[in-house]
Amino acid sequence: MLSTQMRVEVAVIDEIQMLRDEQRGWAWTRALLGAAADEIHLCGEPAAIDIVKKLLEPIGESVEVRFYERKSPLAIADKAIESYNNIEPGDCVVCFSKRSIFFNSKKLEENGIKPAVIYGDLPPGTKLAQAAKFNDPDDPCNVLVATDAIGMGLNLNIRRVIFNTCTRQSELLPTYAALQIAGRAGRFGTAYANGVATTMRKEDLSTLKAILSEKVEPISNVGIAPTYDQIETFSFHLPQASFVRLLDLFVSVCSISDHFFICTVYDMRELAVLIDQIPLPLKVRYTFCTSPLNTDDKRTAAAFVKMARRFSTGQALTYEWLTDMLEWPPKPATNVTELSFLEQTYEILDQYMWLSMRFPDMLPDEPRAREASKQLDTMIQEGVESFMSLLSADIKPQKPVEKLEKPPSEKAKKPRKSSILQSLLSRNDISEADLEQLREELNRNKK
C-alpha cells in the first residue's frame, strides 16, 4: 500500500485504469490523490484520462497527456486451436480458475508438452522462476499455462495468447480485460515480433472477436473505501456499534459525488466478522481488517484469528509462536493438495510480514519470517517443477475440454440486501430520528 506520508520527488503509478476496479479501485484512487510527490507519472489505458483530469484539475493540479502506440502488431487468428496437438512453442493458454490450470496442464502433458505454470496463489519468486523457464530459449519448457495474473507485471515471450474460455466468474470478459490479456502476445522487445490472440475452442472465437472489437468506454467514476478517520467518526456517534455494524452503516448512509463509487467492503467485512468478538482498539481492528488476506480458505482465516487473539492479550507475535502455529518446518509436496497447503503457509507468513510493518513492536520478527518465506518459496518452486507428477498423484476426473468450464464458486459475491439500514432499523439498533441526526452531523463535519 502506497504511503501518503513519505515525501518523494517522483512517483510512478502503473495500471491507473484499476481506478475502476470494484474491489481494489480505492487503492489507486488513494495513491492518485494522496501520493506526497512533486510529480506523478501515470501509466495505463486512455480510458482513464478524462476521469483523472476531472479529479485533479479542480484541486489545482495540471495534467499532461502523452500517447504511446503499441510498437508491435497484434492480430486475432482466423482459426481456434481446437486440439492440444496444435499447441506450439510460445503459446500461452489463459485460464480463469485453478481447476482449469490443472486440467489444461495435464492435457498438455498427455500430448508430450511440459508447460510452465503461473497462477495467483504462487509466491512472487515461483512466478518469476516459471516465467524465466518459459522465456529461456534453451529450456524445453516453451509453453505456458496461466491465469489472467499474466496481464500485469510479467514480461513474457508469448507469441499466441489462447483463451481457454471467454467467461470469467460466469460473465463475459469485459473488453478492457480481454485487451489487457491479449496484449501480452508479441510484446515489443520479446522473442516474437507479431502477437496473435485466439481461443481454444472454435465456438469461442467469434465471441472473442466481438469482445475485442468493442470500444473501451471512458472511466466515469473511481473507487473509494472507508478510511480509519471516517470509521472513527461513525464510532464516536455510535459507541456501542460493532466494527461490522459501522461498515454497514458507512455503506448505507455516506453520500458521494458522481465521480466516485464505494468499493465493495465484502473482504474487509468478512475479516471483521472473524474477529468481531476479540477485544481490540478500533485502529488496530481497522488495520487488521484491511489485510490482503483470502478469507475463503479456512486455514488462513484461522491463522488470522489466532494472530488477532494473541495481539489482544498484549503478547508479542514472535517467530517461535508463528512457527509453532504453522507446524514448521513444512514438508515437500507430494501431491497438489500438499502444494496448496504450502501456498497457504506462504500466505500466512506474508500476512505476518504485512502486519509487522504496521505493528513492529508486536510482530518483531519480520526478518526471520521473511527468511522463512524465501525457504518456502523455494520449496513451492520445486513442487511446481514436478507439477505433473503432483497432478498424477491426486488429479480428479475432469470434464472434456469441449464443454465450457463452470465458473468457480462465487462465495465472495453474496446477494446484496435491498437496504442494510432497513435491516438495522428492524432490529431497533438505531431509530429514523437518530439516523437523520447522524446524517446531519456527518454533513456538518464534511463542511
Q: Residue 294: what pLDDT?
A: 84
Q: Residue 438: what pLDDT?
A: 58
**Domain(s) of CATH 1.20.58.1080: residues in the chain:** 264-394
Q: Residue 5: what pLDDT?
A: 84
Q: Residue 398: what pLDDT?
A: 45
Q: Residue 417: what pLDDT?
A: 39
Q: Which amino acid type is present at position 405?
A: E
Rounded to whole angstroms, how far apart are CA atoms 17 and 7? 24
Superfamily of domain 74-213: P-loop containing nucleotide triphosphate hydrolases (3.40.50.300)
Q: Residue 416: what pLDDT?
A: 42
Q: Residue 409: what pLDDT?
A: 39
The CATH number of domain 264-394 is 1.20.58.1080:
yes
Q: Residue 213: what pLDDT?
A: 95
Which residue's C-alpha cell is 474460455? 165
**Domain(s) of CATH 3.40.50.300: residues in the chain:** 74-213
What is the model's pTM? 0.82
- At residue 422, what are phi and psi to the nearest 5 degrees? -60, -40
Query: β-pairing, 37-42 with 8-13?
Result: parallel
Q: Flag residues of the chain having pLDDT under 50.
A: 395, 397-428
Q: Residue 245: what pLDDT?
A: 93
Greatest pairwise CA separation for the chain in angstroms: 73
